[in-house]
Structure 1
Amino acid sequence: MSSLPLILKVPASRKSPGERLPPLYGQYRQYEHRLPQHRWNAPSRASDPRYFWVAAYSRGSGWGNVMQEVLLNAHLSYKANRAFVFYNYTWNDDGSDYSNYNGKPIPSRVPLSALIRGPMIGESWPEDVSAPLSISEEYYHHVCKKNRRVIPRAEVHDPLPTWFASDIMKGWLDKLASVDDRTFGDKDGMRDLWPEFRHSPVLTHFAYSHLVELAFDTNREVFSPTAVLEPPLTSIPFTPSTRTAERYTELPGLLVLHVRRGDYEGHCAHLARWSSSYLAFNTLPELPDRFDPPPGGSWGHNTPENVQVYMRHCFPTVEQIIARVEEVVRLDAARGLQNVYVMTNGAAKWVDGLKAALRATGRWKNVASSRDLVLNREQKYVAQAVDMLIGQRAQVLVGNGTSGR
């Protein structure tokens, strides 16, 4: 989901008899509006927190890219001791309810509470953390109609000595510390903050929404059949003290493959032309899979041999996927693997061919893909998050290093 969509000006009240349009997640929007820190009818007070709103947050991007941005922006706000202003997962913001993606209607905006939980969307911080509660974008516009300070991106970024994430983070923290009014800034793709970010309560106390966890529970026997009775994930309470690592424990025996298809082929060719490296967190030094762009290319052009190297990493064939899996299963970390799940947006016929090839190796007890999940009407439009939860709990995950998901 990277190209700009066509816009459907289709108010829900005008749909044709019998027409089934996507849900608009009204109950989740109501939940966000009713957060106790949203004092809609109360006057502002001197004790109200200062806010941080990222005006130019991503639109029209896949959920993986947006999720990374939300977490990083929330971490910056936490470090600055400001109330983070969270926003919708937005495909377009022209005011229409629906957009057209691949000839089908999708919601133009999905409330974040339909996808995730935790302090970044207004829930309580852990007891040992003192930080203002996050607020919704709608409440921010309500409470800060006039008293705003705009910080242009260039004002912070132009003086920076480098583009490393540590310098970007320090630049914004210094700037935010120097102003007293409620503030919003411009977006930026902050990169490798991992040594610090991994310990942030924004990340350590993050969870997926009840809607996503319910889809996980419903489909558990599809992607990782249980050997013994385990309580459903949705039956385990999520509290401010719940740690992400404790809630989403490893599923022994599960291998997850992330296989992008569709229009991603053109994106991979573009990456090859510009000799791009892996994306963001995929470059962390502790990850076992490294990728150094092969030499021989020029600015905007690459050799046919190098293009094939990129395609093997970015848009592999079925044969290349099977070969990579055979390499992975020989690793010590892969001992005991018996189930394989393919996260993919591939066409049904192509996915069936990949699953048949995996079964033909005789190695797997269970082979499934995203297309095998049974999802209700609301879960269908947050399916990327369902896949991400499954991948997060895998014993071994083979991702696509050029993708944000």
Structure 2
Amino acid sequence: MPERDDTLDGPLLPMEMEGESTEKRRPWYKSKIVLSVLGAAIFFLLVILVVLWAAKSRKTGDEPGSEDGDLDRPPRYHNLFETQKKLPQHDLNLPFPEGATGRYVKFTAQSGQRLLGWNNVFTELLLHNYLAYKSRRGYVFGDYFWAPEHYPWPEDKALEKPARTPISALISGPTAGGPWPPGDPAPRSIHEDHWPLVCPPEKVKKIWTTKVKEEYKMRDNGTGKYIFNVWKKILLDDPAQCIEVTQPTIEEDPWPEVFDLFLLGGPRILDFLDEFRESLVSQGLKASPVVERSIQRNTHLFQTPETVHHNPFSRVLAVHIRRGDYVGHCKNLAAWHAGFYGWNQLPWLPDRYAPPTPEPGNYTEEYLSHCLPEMDHIIKRIEDARDDWEKETFAGQKLESHYIHTIYILTNALPEWHDEFAEKLKHDHKWNVVTSHDIVFGDAQEKDVGMAIDMELARRAGIFLGNGWSSFTSNIVHQRLIDKKTALSNRFF
């Protein structure tokens, strides 16, 4: 065995010499300066990681209330469906006019049964809710069901067929189960899944729209106010606790809705619109939390140095340019001699258009100049609308530059047309251009309600220019009038 080497006894590191500072001999990696720098570097690294995580959350949907982060897959809406199920008015023990003893009305007769687009369905939902309110019954709302050609994902990716979206993802307010103003005794809306619990089949009385329309001669003659008041009286006077307004097959009656296309698409509706605009249904209509979340994320797209401390949307002109299906549809509208739709018909709004008497040669061309205008004509209308609004708003003042300087383009045009149009506005006419293609969705829920996001952005814009035959334009005009936007801020081609 080797002998122990006594020279190794004692400390292996140098011993402190008398009078020598420990700070002087401290290793470099233990100095105060190095430790401070290292601490700061770690702090900033953590900050960067938090920022990157937040950015990833915005892209993948890791936000409060959102579990649908994958944009390539339709949303499941577990959170919204659960909230909808637990609405406080779904308590059977509530006193009259809610709960098990309340009075309710469900409208099975509506365009949503035929999977029409959201804007046709949306108009009806609001009108049905107001009719239920005036007849002192709880309104029964359902989910929105998509036609496959409108759905934001391929049909084979849909979680169910037809795909559906909860109304509370699209809007908020009484129509989506929200409360009435404090002190209002009206019953709140219930979801259709609660309907069988509060209104089992033996309690339900069915009223057929076809019979009512025929009895009261509503199809071609009744005004909006007349039709609304007839239905209100029927629903008020009937002692049945639960009423389902239903319809025959489409083959028996192609337009069985309470408020059908021929009413909404013609001047007969006009005498009712002022009342409806001031109703609590209209006044309570707001963006859904999903839509609001997306608006907040994308507000920076509309901000400029002039709007850092102000509402950026006040300096935006939103333009709705309908292409795509309208290439053929406008020719059909011309053949039908159709006028503007819904709210677009109000006589005190600018840009009134009366379809010309059909004449050989130029009738269709005249129609298309308003329904499907060419690019240069659209740009002229945009600039004229801005000039008119600025002259009225800043009367007597001299502007050094345009107050409205950002344009938001809502269109279903082909990419080539869209890109050329945006480039012309940006380079030839010096607009700050934002389009619906620039909107960043934080999750699949936001992607699912893209049309509602577009509508809300147009609602908030300083000026809106739209297509008078479009129900989408009509719904935007309705909401802008709720917000007391001036007549001259709502324009048409």
User: Cα RMSD (Å) of the superposition?
Assistant: 2.7
Query: 1:229 offset after TM fit, Å?
Result: 4.7
1:374 aligned residue: 440
2:181 aligned residue: 126
* Paired letter, 1:209: S
Of 320-329 and 379-388, more deviation after overlay is shown by 320-329
Distance verdict in 2 for CA 1:378–1:19, change over 3 Å: closer
1:152 is the counterpart of 2:202:
no
Q: Secondary structure at the match of 1:150?
A: strand
Distance verdict in 2 for CA 1:180–1:212, change over 3 Å: same
* Paired letter, 2:186: A
2:119 aligned residue: 64
Of 57-66 and 386-395, more deviation after overlay is shown by 57-66
Q: Secondary structure at the match of 1:149?
A: strand
1:358 is the counterpart of 2:418:
no
Pick the structure with greater CA Rg: 2
* Paired letter, 1:136: H
Q: 2-side partners of 1:100 and 1:284: how far apart?
A: 29
* Paired letter, 1:269: K
* Paired letter, 1:381: D
Q: Secondary structure at the match of 1:252?
A: helix
Contact 2:129 2:281 in 1 (8 A): yes
Q: 1-side partners of 2:181 and 2:152: how far apart?
A: 42
Selected match of 1:29 from 69, 81, 93: 81
* Paired letter, 1:33: K
Pairing 1:177-326 to 2, within 5 Å after superposition:
177-181=236-240, 182-186=242-246, 187=257, 188-189=259-260, 191-192=269-270, 193-225=272-304, 227-229=306-308, 251-296=313-358, 303-326=360-383
Higher normalized helix content (fraction of residues):
2
Distance verdict in 2 for CA 1:133–1:391, change over 3 Å: same
Query: 1:325 offset after TM fit, Å?
Result: 1.4
Q: 2-side partners of 1:90 and 1:144: how far apart?
A: 23
Q: 2-side partners of 1:183 and 1:337: how far apart?
A: 50
Q: 2-side partners of 1:41 and 1:100: how far apart?
A: 40
* Paired letter, 1:388: M
Q: 1-side partners of 2:298 and 2:457: how far apart?
A: 10
Distance verdict in 2 for CA 1:251–1:226, change over 3 Å: farther
Q: Secondary structure at the match of 1:84?
A: strand
Q: 2-side partners of 1:250 and 1:154: how far apart?
A: 48
2:4 aligned residue: none
Q: 1-side partners of 2:282 and 2:195: how far apart?
A: 23
Q: 1-side partners of 2:325 and 2:382: how far apart?
A: 24
Pairing 1:87-126 to 2, within 5 Å after superposition:
87-91=142-146, 104-105=154-155, 108-126=163-181
Deviations 1:306-342 (A, max 9, x none): 2122222222221221121132122035762111111
Distance verdict in 2 for CA 1:374–1:250, change over 3 Å: closer
Contact 1:250 1:395 in 2 (8 A): no
Aligned residues: 360
Deviations 1:164-194 (A, max 9, x none): 1001001101111221221121432353321
* Paired letter, 1:57: Q
Contact 2:135 2:232 in 1 (8 A): yes
Contact 2:138 2:187 in 1 (8 A): yes
Identity of aligned residues (%): 32
TM-score (norm 2): 0.68
Query: 1:100 offset after TM fit, Å?
Result: 7.7
Contact 2:386 2:463 in 1 (8 A): no
Contact 2:317 2:407 in 1 (8 A): yes
Unaligned segments of structure 2, at least 5 residues: 1-69, 247-256, 395-402, 473-493
TM-score (norm 1): 0.82
Distance verdict in 2 for CA 1:75–1:224, change over 3 Å: farther
